[in-house]
Amino acid sequence: MDFIPAISLKDIIDILIVSYVIYQLILLVRGTRAIQLLKGIFVVVVTWALSTWFKLNTLQWMMNQMFTFGVLAVIIIFQPELRRALEQLGRGTLFSRTATEDEQELNRRLGEVIKAVNYLARRRIGALIVFERETGLNDYIESGISMESHISSELLINIFIPNTPLHDGAVILRKNQLMAAGCYLPLSENPFISKELGTRHRAGIGMSEVSDALSVIVSEETGQVSLAMNGHIIRDIKEEPLLSKLFEELQSPKRTKEKNSIWKWRRR
């Protein structure tokens, strides 16, 4: 009978602590260039394992040379990330990447969007900005021009400037990334929508009918800002209630249709 080592409570605690540390380190480097470097290191390790398994002596020698200088190379390559981790450790925030940090990032992202929306509205430049939530929007993202860019007000403004290649389509945002521009969205077929609303508004409403996405629309004719959600639209929404509603819904994306009665829609 094979010997099966006994696992004590201390071993379980040890494994859980190590797993938690690794998880927090992954969160630390997520969204940075360190992710690509980690993928490269993983490829090197797999190559070394295969060369050892199949006894490929020359390849194994090359991998051994890489490992010899690997520690120094990692310190040099990951210097910004290591400094960042040590700074957070000194502030006691290395393992506290919780809701506070998420809220700060959401505030920054919404601030950039609101800044762009205000600029476009004052100049009556039409725009359609979609926030992805739980329902994936890959089909609609693929209909546009892939960007996967950092969200900034300057980029959003430039996209919707008239007579540019992407200004007629929609922009789709996924968390802290601008995924694509010039996207085609489904038009709402709701017969009760005001005849004053054009294609841009119908696309924003249609997107909210087939998904849980939020759509912010800037009217080219009036400069009014509208918000579409769950198949409804509130027109001429001001900056403060718009920011408040976006923050509430994007912070808690699972609270959707059952809260419609709480939100008093103004229909025109």
The domain boundary, picked from 35, 62, 91, lies at 91
What's the average model confidence in pLDDT over 47-51? 87
Q: Percent of the chain, pLDDT > 70?
A: 78
User: Helices 99-122 and 153-160 meet at what angle, rounded to 10?
Assistant: 40
* Number of domains observed in the structure of the chain: 2
In sequence order, what E strands does 153-257 have? 170-174, 177-183, 214-218, 225-229, 232-234
pLDDT (tens digit per residue) in 183-219: 999 999 888 888 889 999 999 999 999 899 999 999 9
| Domain contains 267 | no
| Domain contains 265 | no
Q: Compute CA distances 22 → 15, 16, 27, 87, 95, whole Å.
A: 11, 10, 9, 18, 11
Instruction: Of 82-96, 196-210, 214-228, give the lowest mean pLDDT range.
Output: 82-96
- Give the CATH number for residue 176: 3.40.1700.10
Q: Hunting for tokens 């992407």 — which residue is that?
A: 166
Higher per-residue pLDDT: 24 or 96: 24
Residues 79 and 136 in one domain: no
Look at residues 132, 251, 127 and name the one whose alpha carbon lies nearest to residue 198. 127
Residues spanned by the domain of 120: 99-259
User: Would the pTM of this model clear 0.85, i.e. be above it?
Assistant: no
Looking only at the bridges linking them, the beta strands covering 214-218 and 177-183 are unpaired
CA atoms of 15 and 21, how far apart (whole Å): 10
pLDDT (tens digit per residue) in 248-258: 999 854 444 44
Look at residues 250, 261, 268, 258 and name the one whose alpha carbon lies nearest to residue 106. 250
Q: Which residues pair with 146 in a beta bridge?
A: 180
Residue 70: both structure tokens together: 């690997």
Residues 71 and 201 in one domain: no
CB under 8 Å to 84, separation ≥6 — which residues?
A: 28
pLDDT class of 180 with cuts at 50, 70, 90: very high
Residues 86 and 103 in one domain: no
| Domain contains 266 | no
Residues 240 and 126 in one domain: yes
Instruction: Supply angle C-alpha 92, 96, 101, rounded to 5.
Output: 115
The domain boundary, picked from 35, 66, 91, lies at 91
Residue 132: both structure tokens together: 């992805």
| Domain contains 3 | no
Residues 255 and 160 in one domain: yes
Residues 121 and 254 in one domain: yes
